[in-house]
Amino acid sequence: MTKIIDGKAVAKKVNAQTATAVAELAAQGIQPGIAVIIVGDDAASQIYVRNKNRKATKLGMHSVVRQLPATTSQDELLAIIAAYNADDSIHGILVQSPLPAQINEPLITMAIDPKKDVDGFHPTNVGKLITNFPGNYPVANTPRGIMTMLADYGVDPAGKTAVVIGRSTIVGKPMAALLTNANATVTIAHSKTADLKAVARTADILVVATGIAHLITGADIKPGATVIDVGMDRDENGKLVGDVDFDSAQGIAGLITPVPGGVGPMTIATLMQTTVELAKWSDVSE
Ligand SMILES: NC(=O)C1=CN([C@@H]2O[C@H](COP(=O)(O)OP(=O)(O)OC[C@H]3O[C@@H](n4cnc5c(N)ncnc54)[C@H](OP(=O)(O)O)[C@@H]3O)[C@@H](O)[C@H]2O)C=CC1
Ligand SMILES: Nc1nc(=O)c2c([nH]1)NC[C@@H]1CN(c3ccc(C(=O)N[C@@H](CCC(=O)O)C(=O)O)cc3)C=[N+]21
């Protein structure tokens, strides 16, 4: 029997904690603030940004969405980031990816004050994650949300074999670091991996983040494995599907996240959680 991990339900629990934290901060005269900057009019990005703004407002936070034209120059974007870095009403800054070609994404990541780096992408914060640094710092929200889901379902990575397919800065690499810090034995696979499917079959915990619809099927899953599907893909009919073929995984996986309703809601809930933490922490990323 395959059990479905209800990401929406876990996100609800996280959001309830965030609402309490927002109320506690309000009593101290602090309102957590998030600024989301979006360059261009990519349809998927527009949906994600709208969802973030709606959730932040609903939780009582100060939420700013800065929509910029696709022709925005790198210097213009850097100036806007500098203004939010200096703005005391903003605790978290997120620059939605992808960015247009004229903008150097790593340079933008570096320009965000690490104390306001709500995505956890700044090298200072990535370095802290890799070194399992003590103290408070932001961690990429999608992998962090996945760790929250695993804990909620009683899946302890310690001693388990984990395979992460995908090596992006936003998902794959921080996911592998979190699982390593949680004492799993971790393999990172990617488009150059020889015999990807054989590697996948070794996993007790399989995280798939490639953007390739239905790359992984039931035959690639170890019986009883926990399968986390990060993909936000479209099938041939334009329907939202994941990187895992959900139907063929049934009866093989022990636990599996659906798309939609799995990782996505957790990403948004964790982003809100991180924003509140950045407003609260005094010792974050000096
Ligand atoms: N639900 C959520 O909250 C989120 C969902 N997403 C979704 O997750 C997916 C991945 O996102 P992201 O990490 O940003 O994507 P990227 O495109 O940055 O990275 C994709 C990774 O997958 C690897 N890959 C691509 N094709 C294959 C293949 N055929 N076999 C093995 N590995 C492959 C790439 O390998 P290589 O490095 O060799 O090119 C790369 O490392 C997307 O669908 C995205 O929309 C992303 C963020 C959050
Ligand atoms: N700087 C930056 N930070 C990000 O965190 C970031 C980003 N850029 N660029 C794009 C990806 C993607 N991402 C998602 C957020 C929510 C859902 C989500 O809410 N998904 C819903 C469904 C949404 C729908 O119906 O289309 C679900 O899975 O149930 C998905 C994907 C954040 N990203």
Please, are residues 65 and 36 in contact by the beta-carbon 8 Å criterion?
A: yes
pLDDT digits 0-9 by tens, 88-101: 999 999 999 999 99
- Asked whether 209 lines ligand 1 (CB < 6 A), one says yes
- Count up the domains in the chain and report the number: 2
User: Does one domain contain both 253 and 152?
Assistant: yes
User: Does one domain contain both 161 and 247?
Assistant: yes
pLDDT digits 0-9 by tens, 6-23: 999 999 999 999 999 999
User: Does one domain contain both 105 and 146?
Assistant: no
Which CATH number goes with the domain that contains 98? 3.40.50.10860
Q: Is 119 one of the catalytic residues?
A: yes
Instruction: List phi, psi (to 5°) of 204.
Output: -80, -35
ipTM above 0.95, yes or no: yes
User: Does one domain contain both 99 and 185?
Assistant: no
Is 284 within a domain? Answer: no
Provide the residue range defining the domain that includes 198.
139-262
CA nearest ligand 2 atom 30, residue: 264
pTM of the model: 0.98
Report how far apart, in Å, the C-alpha atoms of 125 and of each of 117, 134, 172, 175, 277 are: 8, 12, 16, 14, 14
For residue 212, give the amino acid letter.
I
Q: How far apart are CA 70 and CA 49, in angstroms?
A: 16
Please, are residues 170 and 118 in contact by the beta-carbon 8 Å criterion?
A: no
User: Does one domain contain both 40 and 82?
Assistant: yes
Which CATH number goes with the domain that contains 196? 3.40.50.720
With cut-offs at 50, 70 and 90, classify the pLDDT of residue 286. low
For residue 19, give the amino acid letter.
A
Of the residues 119, 204, 220, 243, which is catalytic?
A: 119
User: Does one domain contain both 213 and 151?
Assistant: yes
Is 93 within a domain? Answer: yes
